[in-house]
Structure 1
Amino acid sequence: METLQFRFESGSRPLAGTPQLVGVVGSGNLEVLIEPAQLGGACEIEVRTAAVGFGATWEAVMADFHARWQLADARISINDMGATPAVVGLRLDQAVESLTGGTP
């Protein structure tokens, strides 16, 4: 297992609401927990993954996600069992949409 940490400082969309969990890690996929947090406008993402050595890929997917949503005061936890980048992006979008009801 590998744990990766990402922090984005420049969010413009503060997150509010009840924490949401989407996906199922037991299916060989991944789960995403998203929750509001007092982070001074930042968005923090922690990834726990069984696919060791893909840090650069995760960084690119997280940067794309942040550019799309611009979340602020958000904490995201991802438990991954080898999902593809497309599935990761889909689950992240699903998590945000469950809280905001909107689109990027």
Structure 2
Amino acid sequence: MALQQLKFEFKVNNPIEFSHEWRHHGVVGSGDLEILMEKKDLGGAVQVQVVTPVVGFDKVWGMVLEKIVKENRLGNISIEINDNNATPIVVSMRLRQALAEAAKDVRKEV
């Protein structure tokens, strides 16, 4: 099975940054995916790399990821997604779970 690598970059006004250097969420498995997030100085941008066996869904990936970035006003973060045939709703759910975990950690620090 050949894997393809997709790369995206998004930028929003007044982005919110993570306080932690990195975050991991999810497990690659049947119909699931893994998300790795790393805080980086990207001039306020978000860079996303998707490794997936599914071909032809570049536009769908872009729309799902852009929606998450805009809704959460993310910035200065690098996201790596290792996909194992997850549906767009699973991708969205896993990203929201990872962001919720990051938010919990921020609240603990305060």
TM-score of the aligned structures, taking structure 2 as reference length:
0.85
Identical aligned residues as a percent: 37
- Structure 2 residue aligned with 1:70: 73
- Structure 1 residue aligned with 2:82: 79
Q: CA deviation at 1:64?
A: 1.0
Unaligned runs of 5+ in 1: none
Residue identity in the other structure for 1:35: E
**Cα distance in structure 2, aligned partners of 1:16 and 1:46:** 21
Q: CA deviation at 1:18?
A: 3.8
Ranges of 4+ aligned residues in structure 1 off by more than 3 Å:
none
Q: CA deviation at 1:27?
A: 3.6
The secondary structure found in structure 2 opposite 1:25 is coil
* 1:6-45 superposed matches below 5 A: 6-11=8-13, 12-45=15-48
Is the CA contact (8 Å cut-off) linking 1:4 and 1:47 kept in structure 2?
yes
Residue identity in the other structure for 1:55: D
Q: CA deviation at 1:26?
A: 3.1
Bigger Rg, which one: 2
RMSD across aligned positions (CA): 1.5
**What per-residue deviation string (whole Å, max 9, x for no partner) do you get for residues 42-95 of structure 1?**
111110011111101101101111121111111100000110101000111111
TM-score of the aligned structures, taking structure 1 as reference length:
0.89
Q: What is the aligned length? A: 102
